[in-house]
Chain A
Amino acid sequence: MTDIIFSSWQNERFDGREAAATDDKSPAKVKLAAEFGPGERIKAFMGWDGIALRDDDVDIVDMCAKYAEAVQGESCGKCFPCRVGTRIVADWLKKIAAGEGQKEYPGKIRELALSIRDGSKCGIGQTGMTPILHALQHFPQAFAAAITEQKKAGEGNYRYSVTAPCISVCPSSLDIPRYVEEISEQRFADSLATIRQAVCMAGTLGRVCIRPCESNCRRANIDEAVSIKWLKRYVADYEIEKNRHPEISGRHHNKESKKVAVIGAGPAGLSCAYYLALMGYRVTIFEKLPEPGGMAAVGIPDYRLPRAILRSEVAIVEEAGVEIRYGVEIGKDIKFADIRNDHDAVFIGVGAQGNSPMGVEGEEKNYRGFISGVQYLLDINLGRDPYPEGKKVVVVGGGNVAIDCVRSSFRIGKPDVNLVYRRSKTEMPADPVEIKDAEEEKVNFHYLCNPTKILEKDGKVVGVECIRMELGEPDQSGRRRPVPVPGSEFVIETDILIPAIGQKVDYSFLEEADGIKLSKWKTVDSDGETFVTSQAGVFASGDCVTGPDVLVRATGNGKRAAEKIDLFLTGNKVEASIEERFRTLFSTIGVYDKEEQLGVIGGLRRAHLPMLDPEERKRTFEEVEAGYNAPAAIGEAARCLRCYRIGMIALG
């Protein structure tokens, strides 16, 4: 990044051309990738926070004119300053670039651009004038020369894309401001259709998404982040509540001859299958369990994600034309090689449902009462008590699966529920909201201790020996590494011991001859951009590639994989799309600034969901949170600041 010669990013001027002699460290604030695609050099960037130049042959006047044109083209027309003002600015800049500018133009542009910046309704107008104002400030001579010399600007090669802080971190690339705005405009069905363009599991994600978007919400800079997740749930529920048949739009029928097999009906597989079906492919999902949803079905209890919701979303996938074959285990019922032979492409989305060992004495002995977290939840979700005789429960781990295990234990009538975690509460990877809920429901948390030995009697678990831990130096993950305190062993009596310290990929469905390579973490090795595995025509994404990860990444990558499979099946080069490249580019630059002062009042706290009382809810699998009603959803959606912004690159 040291090759940036000029930057005005976030109002900090850096001019490498003048400073080069005195300072060899680049203080340029902007982190601009060198290349867009292979061999495509990025010469300059214009965006919401200013300008960055890598080459000095970029015609700043021309780029400003094109940027203004892009802003006008993206203006939604819903406020006057942006709709009309940016058109005037774009016209003037175009004239200057065409060598027809007049002397007073730069001054007038500046004046009008300031009005647009301060007067516009949303991010397009509020940020769209920033690089132009910067250019007028830092390159006045370029404009003056273009006007006095009446010279035509050199036309460059530009590309632009629209993003927003929330969109930029959404692994499923949901157009969040749009669907939120549609809710504020009471267009609930339209909003759901917008969501479905990116994910086919709106009701699921609306309940269990870890919502990176909300951590990147600019509304938090003035009061609280918009409740993006609950809004998503509102429109998904709306369709069901109003008894509407799910609407599937954008369906094509042109590629029906090609067949794709999807292994695993989890979030990645469902998503991949859904979008392939919309493109017109014949898709069959092979699912081992009698139930769809993968980890979403197995690992998420009913009180967070009612089964009916998950089933209705799977019904939408089927409605799109996907066939799901349940109870078919690859490697057992059908060989992977046969599936490959019968289909034009195969997508592996088997997830990570294998159990990671704790490395504790006795864990391989199959004692009664020793049950893996995933198995425990699966049994409960299928309506069984995994071990009816057991009353006391100890769960080991700090992730969402561990929390789901303890909370579900209450709901199947276990009176004494404990959680053992080797670090402290602050390091726990589980969703803080869920930790709070579990605390309210009176789970006994044992922080800073780790199991060392399973205690048994007659082949049944009777307790677990643990050792106290203390936090040492930070490890690779940035969290402080827990270190055992010698001699601090103690025993927790229990009937059930549940390891929930992480899952691994069960790749036993593959045979060596299949030739699918695994990574060094024993996950399926697939390319991060193209999802291609070591075998042609075989693609993979989801937890089986990443290891245990969040649902919204599985759905996002499932859809992206579908697009790559389409490229493959239509004989195109399988590569990252323009939008994906922009996404990478923008995420390096950073679309959200936590420190930004917005200069306006907030004063509207987010609307919260009504919840069941902890003592009542811990005994039932009924959904804990009730959704929004219409006024709450509309009011919440109206809090969105619609922080769209445009980034443009000059290539060459």
Chain B
Amino acid sequence: MDMIRLTIDGKEITTREGRTILEAAREGGIDIPTLCYHEQLSPIASCRLCVVDVEGYEKPMTSCTTPAVDGLSVTSRSEGLLKMRREILNLILTAHPLDCPQCDKGGECRVQELAYEHGIEKVEYAALREDRKEGYATPLIRYWELRCVLCGRCVQGCREVSGRAAIDIKGNGFEARIAPTENGDCISCGECLSLCPVGALTEALSPVKGRVWQSERTDTACPHCGFGCRLTLNVLDGKIISKVISETNLPPNNTSLCIRGRFGYDFANHEARLTEPFQRIDGEIKKLEREAALNITVENLQRISAEGKGIGFIVSPRATNEEIFLISRIAAHFENGRVASAAAYHTGKVASAFRRMGINPGYHYETIRTCKTIIVAGADLLINNHLLANKVREAVRFNGSRVIVVDPLPSALSGIADAYLKIAPGQDALVFNALSRRLLLDGKYDKDAETLEGFVELRQSLTTADEETPPLSTGVEAAMLDKAYGLIRDEGDTGVIFASGITTSEESLAALLNFCLLKGLHKRGMIMPAALQSNAVGAVAILKELASPDELIRDSEISGLFIYEDDPFHYLNGELVKKGLSQKAFIAVCDLLPTAVMDFAGLVLPSASFAEKEGTFISGDGSVRAVKKACSGKAAGYEFLNELFSRLGGKRYSNPAEITDEIQGLGLLKEEGDAKEPGIGKARFAASGDILPQGVPPNIMMPHRVPSHAKDAHAETGKYRLILRDLFMNHHLWGHDAAASSAKCRVLSAEFFSSQSSALSPQHSVLYPPKDRLFISPEDAALLQIADGESLCIESADGAVTRPVTIKAGVKTGVLECVLGDTLRQGVPIRSEILALSLRPSKVIAVSARKV
């Protein structure tokens, strides 16, 4: 790109062509006042404060929209411009109350700063604006309409960043205000909230409001999904998290967060938090000192080990690397020690497939933007990894990228997809095999692929003449598959983002990765698995021999179980867990809130929330994110592990950073560049070196297999595939708000998202019952002669449940969708009985259904 030169206020500035005058000025260190401008957004140009004069032109112009042209001479400060700015500020303050003393934004309000800088001492004009007390698009956010200056940032952010159209400027002239649109499109991501320069949008969740001078701020990492958002906790009195904010200088999410990241933190200060260890003897609860708890643990584990029995550790994929590392060391101390984590179900499967096939994991999120075509497969990014959906949208907006969505259910991106392949559940393999077959037949594949092991067999099996393209059983229209193929056929980088919808089936994963290797995406393009939990990648990196939790629970050889911040009842078949646990001689559970699994524990230990911990996560892009202690209080779980390790003869670490260093020394977390501080650096998950066994050729094609259930699932009436959503949701988010009248916790559930397609307004949707919801297509509802709200009996090989159904347009025929909810049983969240339908944690379950 060509460089240009211009002068601003006498200073010569060199910048790239295509910049605006404002951008050039900021690069040159010249401050032009702005209010509506935000670096994460396209210029809005509503405030008119950034006006400048340009030599040779009569009128002042807004520097945020005017291109920097070579040779310009710009003046940003003059009497005339100052007068214009003061006039504008006068007008703003005419329509803005001076309630600064009680405003949340007091002290960090942009209008306050501007008025101060420009010496506005009194408001010149008067005009009365009536407070209509209009509701906002979501009950999580309060709109103070009189404080609103109508800068338009929230509206722009809603459209541009979140891809929604939940709010808009309604009304004309002085009566204009921000109002929810009719489509009820709000997902409560709070993008608008973080962009508001004044106190017009405030979160309506926290009863206490901490202002800039009252709270301490700590930058840390989000504990919810594996995208790895960085956020800033506002903490009052060293204890209470009053607000979560996100700032522009914290990549990869910058100002953005999702509903869970921004609002889902009240568990940290919850009254039900466990504070002391306790023992359960014959149903009686006995409180213990930590010392006693340690003794009991050591004694039991050593006894079991001495008996020659196994000891299982189940660690949450939301624990820090340091905690996971300690657990791995503790487990290694015992001859029959094994470690499991729910990370095994998705990230673990991906890692082993990558290892087998010689694919390097870890892509910068910025890579998404460089892809000409982005395939999003089996990943509902609205429910998990919302920011990943934003990155895809960004690529569409700024790079003109095309999107292909492969999913049986409409998802966050299916609405903007150029091709939406609405496959039958579990049939992804057929789609990717069909695409691979066409690439092979047209000779449009990466020729280097021919040298890879397994190529000849793959070509042979895919190009045999009797295969239909597209196979009828995929349920995908031929024209849509043609369109998708047209988007990936030619030159230009293709990126693939996938999640548990793919990893739920071995065939799907193999077919997808074979397609990637055929396209050469491991060399140019992107193969990006979404990470479901905040440290799933870390767990998989550190735990070399990672078992799945159900494996350890079933294994009768394992007699002792230590469960760390996890609740298997949350994602596994309850009967299976109960049966397994009842066979264990000793069960210890360490968690911060009561969980269902604690009922089976002989020993319960308190743990800490993410806000009380020090340590690291590894996010989906392989970066190390720093988890910083923001609240006082002990990192009880970590300290217990540290003490336990030393009791067993291991090292006693003086602080978690020491462990971080040790992990790094082992090459498990690899730093890149000069970034030393975790969280800022671009450290990579050391995948290739550590995971790939020596001597294995870099890339291997997997043998082509047709899914076992490659028949049309719907061929027989009453046969369905049940898709479970929210299977790996953070169990801390669930149902802890004991007061049923307050729906605030429940708004964090995916039910909220799915409500957008129903007729309910956003205000209603948070009041959904916290039970799981079952959806059926209108076509199938007609077939089964079932009406909205009537009960459906669904039966699988492993069990049966009866649930009322909701008819929802967009659900594919032959598919039942279940958004998992929970119920509170004596203050403890119990996951739905739907899990009884499968003995394995599965996203897709084959069921039959009939009206009760």
Contact = CB atoms under 8 A, between A and B. Distances in A.
Interface of A: 72-88, 91, 112, 115, 118-121, 185-187, 190, 241-243, 597-601, 603-604, 629-632, 634, 638
B176 A76 contact: yes
B91 A88 contact: yes
A474 B43 CA distance: 50
Given A87-B127, A634-B42, A76 B87 contact: no
B172 A84 contact: no
Nearest to B35: A80
B174 interface: yes
Contacts of A115: 84, 87-88
B87 A597 contact: no
Nearest to B61: A600
15 contacts: A75-B174, A77-B172, A77-B177, A78-B169, A79-B47, A80-B46, A81-B87, A83-B150, A83-B174, A87-B173, A88-B125, A243-B419, A243-B420, A597-B58, A601-B61
Contact of B65 (A78, A186, A638): A638
A85 B173 CA distance: 9
B92 A84 contact: yes
Given A241-B418, A600-B61, A80 B149 contact: yes
B727 interface: no
Nearest to A223: B67
Given A88-B127, A634-B42, A604 B419 contact: no
A163 to B, nearest CB: 17
A601 B45 CA distance: 16
Contacts of B175: 77
A509 B92 CA distance: 66
B159 A187 contact: yes
Given A118-B60, A601-B54, 5 more contacts: A84-B92, A118-B59, A185-B159, A600-B66, A630-B400
Nearest to B95: A84
A112 B149 CA distance: 19
Given A81-B88, A86-B173, A600-B66, A638 B42 contact: yes
Contacts of B419: 243
Contacts of A185: 156, 159
Interface stretch (B354-362, B391-399, B607-615): B391-399
Interface string B459-480: 0000000000000000000001
Contacts of A190: 165
B415 interface: yes
B48 interface: yes
A331 B277 CA distance: 96
B69 interface: yes
A76 B48 contact: no
Contacts of A78: 44, 46, 150, 152, 169, 176
A118 B81 CA distance: 11
B555 interface: no
B174 A72 contact: yes
Contact of B172 (A74, A241, A629): A74
B66 A601 contact: yes
Contacts of B160: 186
Given A84-B92, A186-B159, A631 B399 contact: yes
Contacts of B596: none
A534 B171 CA distance: 45
A126 B91 CA distance: 16
Nearest to B48: A119
Given A86-B173, A186-B159, A599-B59, A119 B88 contact: yes
Contact of B417 (A186, A242, A634): A242
Interface of B: 42-48, 51, 54, 57-62, 65-67, 69, 72, 84, 87-88, 91-92, 94-95, 125, 127, 149-150, 152, 156, 159-160, 165, 169, 171-177, 396-400, 415-420, 480
Contact of A73 (B61, B150, B173, B399): B173
Nearest to B127: A87
Contacts of A241: 418
A80 B88 contact: yes
B759 to A, nearest CB: 18
Contacts of B58: 597, 599
A81 B91 CA distance: 7
A58 B165 CA distance: 46
B397 A118 contact: no
Contacts of B59: 118, 598-600
Given A83-B150, A119-B87, A187-B165, A75 B172 contact: yes
Contacts of A80: 46-48, 88, 91-92, 149-150
A71 B223 CA distance: 51
Contacts of A186: 159-160, 397
Nearest to A92: B125
Nearest to A76: B172
B162 to A, nearest CB: 11
B390 to A, nearest CB: 14
Contacts of B54: 600-601
Contacts of A242: 415-418
B95 to A, nearest CB: 5
Contacts of A85: 87, 91
Contacts of B396: 630
Contact of B94 (A82, A88, A119): A88
Highest count of chain A CB atoms <10 Å: which of B58, B125, B420:
B125
Given A601-B57, A601-B67, A84 B84 contact: no
A119 B90 CA distance: 13
Given A112-B87, A597-B58, A601-B54, A77 B176 contact: yes
B132 to A, nearest CB: 15
Contacts of B44: 78
A83 B48 CA distance: 12
Given A600-B57, A629-B400, A119 B66 contact: no
Contacts of B159: 185-187
Contacts of B480: 243
Which 9 residue pairs are nearest across A and B when measured between Cβ atoms?
A77-B176, A629-B400, A599-B58, A599-B59, A87-B174, A84-B91, A75-B173, A72-B173, A603-B69
Contacts of B169: 76-78
Contacts of B43: 638
A121 B400 contact: no
A461 B400 CA distance: 51
A225 B485 CA distance: 37
B402 to A, nearest CB: 9
Contacts of B95: 83-84
A77 B397 contact: no
A118 B42 CA distance: 23
Contacts of A81: 48, 87-88, 91
B400 A91 contact: no
A631 B125 CA distance: 41
Highest count of chain A CB atoms <10 Å: which of B47, B91, B172, B176:
B91
Contacts of B415: 242
A373 to B, nearest CB: 35
Highest count of chain B CB atoms <10 Å: which of A88, A598, A631:
A88
Given A76-B169, A630-B397, A603 B91 contact: no
Contacts of A601: 54, 57, 61, 66-67, 69, 72
Nearest to B88: A80
Contacts of A87: 127, 173-174
A116 to B, nearest CB: 9
A242 B150 CA distance: 32
Nearest to B396: A630
A11 to B, nearest CB: 14
A603 B21 CA distance: 12
B86 to A, nearest CB: 10
A82 B95 CA distance: 13
B809 to A, nearest CB: 11
Given A601-B57, A603-B66, A630-B397, A79 B46 contact: yes
Contacts of B51: 119
A121 B45 contact: yes
Highest count of chain B CB atoms <10 Å: which of A74, A112, A600, A604:
A600
